[in-house]
């Protein structure tokens, strides 16, 4: 389960977390900024609350840890030094938002493309690869 009651866009939620982190906003300030900057998605923006924002921030932090501990070609191409330290989390979010898939048959960008490439490079269904965002039942502890 990624988000209860509604399936939200991965790109939108990561951008909402990025707005908070990149501008170093408190949770309450972040809610105002998200409403102002992403107001073109009114029905989705209305669903965002502090709890949802914290949930997604935690999930992205877990994804960063999974990515750094993986041995995929995507993780070896990324400069690991920029993902460690104080700005590592923000840098990871920026990579997610600007990512373009390197698979010719996959015309997607952003976090969805990054997650798909990570899954495929980790072995996909053949190796029971983990998902980058969220967990399948076979990968839950």
| Domain-located, residue 72 | yes
48-57, 70-79, 101-110: segment of lowest average pLDDT: 70-79
At 27-60, the pLDDT tens digits run: 999 988 888 887 666 565 567 888 988 998 998 9
7 contacts 109 by C-beta, under 8 angstroms = no
pTM for the model stands at 0.76
DSSP-H helix ranges across the chain: 10-22, 27-37, 42-45, 50-69, 73-77, 88-98, 110-121
| Domain-located, residue 61 | yes
Confidence of residue 3 (pLDDT cuts 50, 70, 90): very low
pLDDT above 70 covers what percent of the chain? 73
Confidence of residue 4 (pLDDT cuts 50, 70, 90): very low
Q: How many domains does the chain have?
A: 1
Planar angle of CA 71, 72, 78, nearest 5 degrees: 95
**What does the block give as tokens for 27?**
């949770």
**51: containing domain:** 10-124
Is pLDDT of 79 > 70?
A: no
| Domain-located, residue 135 | no
């Amino acid at each position: 389960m990624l988000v209860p009651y509604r399936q939200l866009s991965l790109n939108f939620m990561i951008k909402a977390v990025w707005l908070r982190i990149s501008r170093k906003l408190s949770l309450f300030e972040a809610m105002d900024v998200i409403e102002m900057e992403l107001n073109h998605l009114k029905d989705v923006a209305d669903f965002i609350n502090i709890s949802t924002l914290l949930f997604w921030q935690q999930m992205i932090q877990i994804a960063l840890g999974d990515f750094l501990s993986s041995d995929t070609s995507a993780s070896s191409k990324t400069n690991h030094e920029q993902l460690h330290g104080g700005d590592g989390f923000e840098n990871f979010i920026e990579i997610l938002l600007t990512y373009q898939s390197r698979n010719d048959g996959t015309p997607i960008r952003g976090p969805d493309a990054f997650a798909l490439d990570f899954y495929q490079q980790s072995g996909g269904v053949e190796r029971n690869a983990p998902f980058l965002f969220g967990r399948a039942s076979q990968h839950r502890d």
